[in-house]
Each structure stands twice: as C-alpha cells, then as structure tokens.
C-alpha cells in the first residue's frame, strides 16, 4: 500500500559483520565478501519497491549532518519514519553507537566524507578532507580513515566538495576504491555532477544524484518538487540537514503520502528503482 514502505519493521543487521569488513591500520574497513555480498546490499533497509518496475511513485529522503560532536542525534531523529535514510559524518565521538542506534530504529546509513569546496580553506571541511592538491594515495588514506570510523553504512555521500567533485583526477581513484569495497555513492545534488556521473558510469559504480535540496527555500515547496519529480520519473531523492524543525516537517509530510499515491522508501530502494527504469 502506498504511504510508508513497511517492508520490514525489524532492526537492521548488527555492524560490523566479519565477512564484509577487513582490518586496516585505521580500523575495520568495508569490503566485498568472498560470496560477493556487498555492504551496499547487506546493510540496506529491505524494500518491496527496490527491484520492481511499476507501482506507486517512490520518494526517498536522506537526512545529513548527523554525528556532529555534542549533538544528540537520538533526540533529533526520534519518531522519524524508518525508511528515511541518515548520513553521519566522520568527526564525531561515539559514532558506532550512534549508527547502531539509528539502524536499530530501522534507518539505513550513509557515511558523509569531507571533500574540498571551491573556497577552501576559507570554508574548511576539516583536517581529514580529501583535497585536489593531494596525490591520490594520500586521498585514499584519508578516505580509509573516514571509512574506518564506524561500520554499517551502505555507501558514501559528500560533505561539501564542489571543487573535488569537479576534478576528474581526484574523483576517479576515490570512486575506484568505493567500487572495490562494494559501496554506493550518492551526490547530494548541491554541485555539478557532470564529472562524478561520467566516472561512476565508466567504473560501473552504483551511483545516483539527489533531485531536490529540501533546505533550499521553503521546505513545503521543496517537498512538493520532490513529489512532482517522483510522479514524473517514478522515483526521486531529496536531501536535507537533520535539524529538529526539518525532521518534524518531514515526519508530518510522510503521513500524507498515502493520500497522494506516493510511497516513502529508503534511498537504496530509490536508487535501485531508477536503475531498473
């Protein structure tokens, strides 16, 4: 039934699972298991709307900005519909505990990696940011540091990164590493995706770009854009910062979707549905 995808109400698999992590100097890193199982599949929230064509238009929401030092993530996301996906950064403390709590509540998780913006260093994404001025091997080390901060995520999204995502020589080695480790990449739609789309296609990396920035203007008008995009294309993805007011509005909005013939799905289901179309 359209509305909220309730394919499972069970907690998601505990993290990490030995078969899909490997040791590194930084800590456990995701990997593809010997049987081909990918973190992108194992840690995704199951959905009846992922690998099928037709059915109701699907809307997905990724809330980012979680895992910030000092924030009470559990209070912010309390009551949020489980299909809403969450992105946690790499700099906070107790990140594995926060991610496990979110997954127990049914949310799938992305890792937000810090990438160089256009106005760096005036706008600084932090000491472990991936930079266009660094050689690929150093950016891979920074990526692996971020990936080792916790386990249980299905893929990666960008934190900042206008400049990095437009630099072919910087993007390609990172996407190769993500592909090798069985992860999805979701660009948050805030920057030009021409380069990232081209590289992901060449590498056959599972990849997508968010359609709507829900924070860009009034949230009601942006949610309406998300609904329209889903009806036109079969599925659409919106992203927003996990502020309390935004979370409440998205929660209320999710309750209205059934009457509109839409269904709220996890981001992974929207990505897969668009690949099927």
Hunting for tokens 């040791």 — which residue is that? 23
The tokens of 29 are what?
């890193």
CA distances from 256 to 60, 92, 247 (A): 14, 34, 15
pLDDT tens across the length of the chain (277 residues): 579 999 887 889 888 888 899 999 999 999 999 999 999 999 999 999 997 778 899 999 999 999 987 667 778 899 999 999 999 999 999 999 999 999 999 999 999 999 999 999 999 999 999 999 999 999 999 999 999 999 999 999 999 999 999 999 999 999 999 999 999 999 999 988 999 999 999 999 999 999 999 998 899 999 999 999 999 999 999 999 999 999 999 999 999 999 999 999 999 999 999 987 6
C-beta separation of 172 from 197 below 8 A: no
The Cα 43–Cα 50 span in angstroms is 14
What tokens appear for 150 in the block? 């916790």
Both tokens assigned to 218: 């009034």
CA distance 59 to 84: 10
Comparing CA positions, the residue from 241, 251, 242 lying closest to residue 216 is 241
What is the length of the chain? 277
Residue 270 φ then ψ, to 5°? -65, -40
Domain boundaries defined on the chain:
3-276
Superfamily of domain 3-276: Glycoside hydrolase/deacetylase (3.20.20.370)
Rounded Cα distance, 82 and 80, in Å: 6
How far apart, in whole angstroms, are the C-alpha atoms of residue 89 and residue 66? 6
Q: Which strand (E) or helix (H) includes residue 86?
A: strand 85-88
């Amino acid at each position: 039934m359209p509305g909220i995808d309730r394919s499972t109400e069970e907690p998601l698999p505990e993290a990490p699972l030995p078969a899909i992590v490997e040791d590194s100097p930084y800590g456990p890193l995701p990997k593809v298991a010997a049987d081909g199982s990918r973190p992108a599949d194992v840690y995704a929230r199951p959905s009846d709307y992922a690998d099928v064509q037709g059915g109701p238009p699907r809307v997905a929401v990724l809330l980012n900005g979680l895992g910030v030092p000092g924030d009470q993530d559990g209070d912010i996301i309390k009551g949020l519909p489980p299909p809403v996906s969450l992105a946690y950064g790499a700099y906070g403390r107790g990140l594995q505990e926060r991610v496990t709590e979110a997954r127990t509540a049914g949310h799938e998780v992305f890792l937000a990696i810090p990438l160089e913006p256009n106005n760096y260093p005036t706008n600084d994404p932090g000491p472990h940011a991936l930079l266009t001025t660094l050689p690929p091997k150093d950016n891979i080390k920074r990526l692996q540091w971020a990936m080792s901060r916790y386990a249980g995520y299905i893929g990666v999204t960008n934190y900042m990164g206008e400049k990095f995502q437009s630099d072919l020589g910087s993007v390609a080695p990172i996407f190769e590493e993500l592909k090798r480790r069985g992860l999805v990449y979701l660009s948050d739609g805030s920057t030009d995706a021409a380069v990232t789309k081209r590289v992901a296609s060449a590498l056959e990396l599972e990849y997508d770009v968010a359609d709507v920035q829900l924070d860009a203007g009034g949230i009601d008008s942006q949610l309406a854009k998300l609904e329209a995009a889903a009806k036109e294309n079969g599925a659409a993805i919106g992203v927003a910062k996990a502020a309390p007011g935004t979370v409440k509005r998205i929660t209320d909005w999710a309750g209205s979707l059934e009457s509109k013939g839409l269904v709220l799905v996890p981001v992974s289901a929207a990505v897969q549905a668009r690949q099927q179309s």
